[in-house]
Structure 1
Amino acid sequence: MEPGKAAPFETHVVDNQPPEFGPRDLWTDDIVLREGIAREGADGFLDPLARYGALAGDELYTLGFDANRDKPRLKTHDRFGQRIDLVEFHPAYHRLMQAAKQAGVAGLSWHAPQPGGHVARAALSYLHHQAEAGTSCPLTMTHAAVPVLRREAALREWADKAAAPHYDPRDVAIADKPGITLGMGMTEKQGGSDVRSNATRATALSADGEYTLVGHKWFFSAPMSDGWLVLAQAPAGLTCFLMPRRMPDGGKNAFRLMRLKDKLGDWANASGEVEFTGTWARRIGEEGRGVVTILQMVMLTRLDCMLGATAEMRMALAHALHHTRHRSTFGKPLAEHALMRNVLADLALEWEAALALCLRVAGAVDRSPQQPREADFARVATAIGKYWLCRRAPAFVNEAQECLGGAGYVEESILPRLFRQSPLNGIWEGSGNIQCLDVLRALAREPECGEALLAELASARGLDRDYDRQFDAIASQLAEGQAVEAGSRLLVERLALLLQACVLLRTGSPAAELFCRSRLGGAHGLAMGTLPVSADFGMLIGRALP
């Protein structure tokens, strides 16, 4: 049969359709990521990043569809009627977790402690999240729990095995496992974000930190984990505990998984409701200092929320570019139509600024132990970045969906999954309002954070007229004490835009001038695709996906 002709029994020829998106090398394709890795001092990790980028864009990308199609299932009892409280997963989920743990997504910065480790680990998380986002939840919590666990000598084995590059899903005591995963239990029905209203009670069993817990958690993240960090009311107040799945002697701990949440997205991951029925736990930190203790995790988990939102932007943008380059309308590829080029370039600009900010914050986290100013900056920048990037992701992904038309609304594409996932990073680790209130709190009660933030922003002054005008206005507002709760969303939004512009300007990004002009100078509408017509669309699109 001649090429391009249908067989006699066929109704039409299938043409003008893009080829499969994958396999793709997510590292090689990402110019902005590679520039950021070099800029933030993680050049010593190029080989593992290159390997994982290739793996994520091939095998892991494919496995993500299976892991989301076959959702986790709760098994409260075995076939003999014994209580087991286990969660079953598709094999694809376990392979995703095994690959991530082995590569260091949950522990590179701890088991390979050298300059740039946190930056490289952030890049691994960003690459992994593009392939499958649900597994990022246990990976993030496992990573962030390590410094908290290291506070207690009795929990050193837990910290070491959380950081270890090994995945072992068996339901056995951690003494028999080379590596573990961890979850969290903070939220209760009556309180939500107000964890100080938690009602779960902790009763001391011994003087060396052993307690029993009675109560519940309404959102119990990663109920398949080996252990969880939970908050409960001890005699001296709200306290942080490690609650293991298995007792030190290997016996099952006294808790009951009541049900799994039926969620909008995040289908590959399990979230549940749990009741504590005299559950054994070990205290972390002092009684009454639970919030302070758990805040050690917050900077790391918030950074991963920023990375997750940016990864979703990246994958959505890559699909939009791939589709529009291979799909023709009115005689030429979609990507060559002027209005579509504006949309694609605008998306590319938004994503580049998001990734640049993520890597700058990751660099600050990396340098925090040696440089207090960087620690102060990271403290406030994670709250600012989490608010803004997580706020932008849903609209961004939806705009990318529209580039594909109806094909972007069909489950065979990854876009519906990305769209369902995109609001979640804004909810995890404190919703948008919580982030804004935390920024106000940091500026009011931790003056060193405000000083570090203003010093960072001042470092780009003089590089762009629109930037200078916005910086002066913000600096004046903060100096005059005009940061109030009702206006905090607008304040944090402006700080986020300034931070993104600051990174682009200081690093000499070719996108910097247009970002300042459009995001700070008013040369932009409320929707994507409203860049000035004189903008260099081709440069932005070319940087986004070669």
Structure 2
Amino acid sequence: MHVAEARIDRASLDEVVNQSGALTGVNVFEQDVILRAAVAREGAGWVAERAAQLGRAAGDPLWQEHAHLANQNAPRFRSHDRFGHRIDLVEFHPSYHALMELAFGSGVHSLGWTAGRPGAHTARAALSYVWNQIENGVGCPTGMAYSAIPSLRLAPEIRSVWERKVLANAYDPRPVPVSEKTGATIGMALTEKQGGSDLRANMTRAVPVGRGGSGGEYRLTGHKWFCSAPMSDAFLTLAQTGNGPSCFFVPRSLPDGTRNRFFIQRLKDKCGNRSNASSEIEYDDTYAILLGDEGRGVRIAIEMAHLTRLDFAIGSAGLMRWALSLTLHHTHNRRAFQRVLAEQPLMRNVLADLCLESEAATLLAFRLARAVDEASAGSQEARLLERILTPVAKFWNCKRVPAFVAECLECHGGNGFIEEQPMARLYREAPLNGIWEGTGNVICLDVLRALQREPDTVAALLAELSLARGADPRLDIAIDALETELSDTRNQEHRARQIAAQIATVMEAALFVRCSIPAAADAFIASRLEGLPNRAFGSLPRDCDLASIVARSRLS
């Protein structure tokens, strides 16, 4: 009798119940009504079929496993081969190569330049948003390839050889000259250990070979503290010339097939983004070609950063969306205290609040993407709006991600904190976009530069906000308060974060009023414009339509 009872107990222990299971079988583009509407509204509805093809990968168990393995098996650096030859090789897990092939084959890096039709940058943003729900480490190589194109075009001899290979929808990891490759990747090596974001403090030196000048050959010597994706085929880098910091193109392989004098010192052991290799490198009489004029390097780097900052605003919104989708799936498929988690009143408040935050980030990012498209087409008003919204959206979306993902992880309980689950990886990933291409303070100071050096950006911003006037008196008051804030020039550097956050929040509220459902717009305004300062997620007022807000964000 006791033996039989023991067997029954053993069987019951092996039975798995009340676990939410993996979120699979979904299409994160096709089933996301908020994303689809944003992409169509901002002028890139034509990308829907391509984005849906990529969107299936996020819910595919195969690609989810590739993402897990690529991060669990970090890149390895081999300085020499077994015979003692210097090879400077970074070895990746096969899953990383599979992910790179999917991303580059889908045009995540290239569509903004190859589509040849209005809305190209917004369409490319849609692919990037989707990709950040698959695997974030590969987002670095795709983003660098995307942002490098204007710089490559500064030197006709570089453009003629490299642009077609960089924009090819192909991934070719072989360490061979570009002439032999089906596709090429671009890395960046800008910062140095003594300067970080202060690029003018760089100490790497460049010496011309012959005439020098734009398109001329130089030799570089120096150390770079961060080099992203060191197995790339070429790199954009900064070095000092007699005329100041200048931008250079450094090919990894030379035309004769030999490797350039580009030496990896070590790989960074990072908190997150572990699938992507980041390194320290040294130049020692390294061959390089000058892009643009001497002394214009920081300006060129800022122009590159303008596109990468768009990508971080988009990518952060995509990361938030995947964390939210995982959280909605878990809380609707797990019970506690005799009720489904998502039906508990306090949990419903938290979930609805997270849904609002995710939608706000998406609305802001894609409005910026349209401004980039319109500015590229020659609109001066769009250029001014893009100038101010780029740092604002980069700062605010990147700043909101860590707290957002932490709340999503907490909704999973202990399951969210173990490495086998995707939430742990997203949690470690969340702070990085706020560091890349300028930390929060650097970005907010750029907001001030836009306001002070190009004051017409204020008029463009207020004109955009005026489109939402009259829809909600609380929003009208907030727009007036922002206008007053922007007109106050006292101690602006001290107030820079407050100014950037205020612009972002009022812009998001205006976009909610114009683009979302009334329940979501009302809840956002009530909680963000009228709500408690330093509020926690789950602080929505009692009369908000929480059910409609959550239902709108569930993949359906």
Q: What's the TM-score bracket when you normalise by the shorter of the two chains?
A: over 0.9
User: Any idea what the Cα deviations from partners look like across 1:489-543, whole Å, max 9, x if unmatched?
Assistant: 1111111101111222222443222211110112676100000011111111111
Residue 332 of structure 2: aligned partner: 325
Residue 453 of structure 2: aligned partner: 445
Residue 165 of structure 1: aligned partner: 169
Cα distance in 1 for residues equivalent to 2:395 and 2:173: 33
User: Any idea what the Cα deviations from partners look like across 1:318-363, whole Å, max 9, x if unmatched?
Assistant: 1111111111112210000100000000000000010011111111
Q: Which moved more, 1:525-534 or 1:22-31?
A: 22-31
Residue 384 of structure 1: aligned partner: 392
Shift of 1:159: 2.0
One-letter code aligned to 1:350:
E
Residue 29 of structure 2: aligned partner: 27
Cα distance in 1 for residues equivalent to 2:501 and 2:273: 26
CA RMSD of aligned residues (A): 1.5
Residue 499 of structure 1: aligned partner: 507
Cα distance in 1 for residues equivalent to 2:436 and 2:284: 26
In structure 2, relative to structure 1, the CA distance for the partners of 1:9 and 1:340 (3 Å cut) is closer
Q: Which moved more, 1:287-296 or 1:193-202?
A: 287-296
Residue 351 of structure 1: aligned partner: 358
Shift of 1:379: 1.7
Contact 1:524 1:532 in 2 (8 A): no
Residue 260 of structure 1: aligned partner: 267
Shift of 1:149: 0.6
Instruction: Indicate which of 534, 538, 541 corresponds to 2:547.
Output: 538
Contact 1:128 1:136 in 2 (8 A): yes
Cα distance in 1 for residues equivalent to 2:162 and 2:454: 32
**Secondary structure of 1:187's aligned partner:** coil
User: Any idea what the Cα deviations from partners look like across 1:258-302, whole Å, max 9, x if unmatched?
Assistant: 000000000100000001001001111100010111222112100
**Secondary structure of 2:121's aligned partner:** helix
**Secondary structure of 2:11's aligned partner:** coil
Say whether 1:241 aligns with 2:248. yes
Contact 2:486 2:499 in 1 (8 A): no
User: Any idea what the Cα deviations from partners look like across 1:136-189, whole Å, max 9, x if unmatched?
Assistant: 011100110011111210111222211111110000001111211111111101
Say whether 1:407 aligns with 2:415. yes
- The normalised TM-score by structure 1 is 0.97
Cα distance in 2 for residues equivalent to 1:128 and 1:447: 36
* 1:473-488 matched pairs, under 5 angstroms: 473-482=481-490, 484-488=492-496
Cα distance in 1 for residues equivalent to 2:437 and 2:97: 25
Contact 1:397 1:418 in 2 (8 A): yes
Contact 1:344 1:541 in 2 (8 A): yes
Cα distance in 2 for residues equivalent to 1:88 and 1:543: 43
Residue 71 of structure 1: aligned partner: 74
* 1:68-467 matched pairs, under 5 angstroms: 68-156=71-159, 157-207=161-211, 208-370=215-377, 371-467=379-475
Contact 1:107 1:163 in 2 (8 A): yes
Residue 3 of structure 2: aligned partner: none
In structure 2, relative to structure 1, the CA distance for the partners of 1:412 and 1:299 (3 Å cut) is same
Residue 10 of structure 1: aligned partner: 11
**Secondary structure of 1:87's aligned partner:** strand
Cα distance in 1 for residues equivalent to 2:447 and 2:491: 10
Cα distance in 2 for residues equivalent to 1:318 and 1:165: 29
Contact 1:87 1:224 in 2 (8 A): yes
User: Any idea what the Cα deviations from partners look like across 1:195-219, whole Å, max 9, x if unmatched?
Assistant: 1000000000132511000001001
Contact 1:440 1:483 in 2 (8 A): no
Residue 48 of structure 2: aligned partner: 46
Contact 2:485 2:499 in 1 (8 A): no
One-letter code aligned to 2:370:
G
Cα distance in 1 for residues equivalent to 2:427 and 2:47: 31
Q: Which moved more, 1:51-60 or 1:380-389?
A: 51-60
In structure 2, relative to structure 1, the CA distance for the partners of 1:8 and 1:507 (3 Å cut) is closer
Cα distance in 2 for residues equivalent to 1:428 and 1:499: 24
Cα distance in 2 for residues equivalent to 1:20 and 1:415: 11
Cα distance in 1 for residues equivalent to 2:203 and 2:320: 38
Say whether 1:517 aligns with 2:521. no
Cα distance in 2 for residues equivalent to 1:314 and 1:445: 35
Shift of 1:111: 1.6
In structure 2, relative to structure 1, the CA distance for the partners of 1:250 and 1:540 (3 Å cut) is same
Cα distance in 2 for residues equivalent to 1:218 and 1:19: 41
Cα distance in 2 for residues equivalent to 1:221 and 1:355: 26
One-letter code aligned to 1:184:
M
Cα distance in 2 for residues equivalent to 1:152 and 1:435: 29
One-letter code aligned to 1:171:
P
Cα distance in 2 for residues equivalent to 1:418 and 1:453: 33
Cα distance in 2 for residues equivalent to 1:426 and 1:6: 54
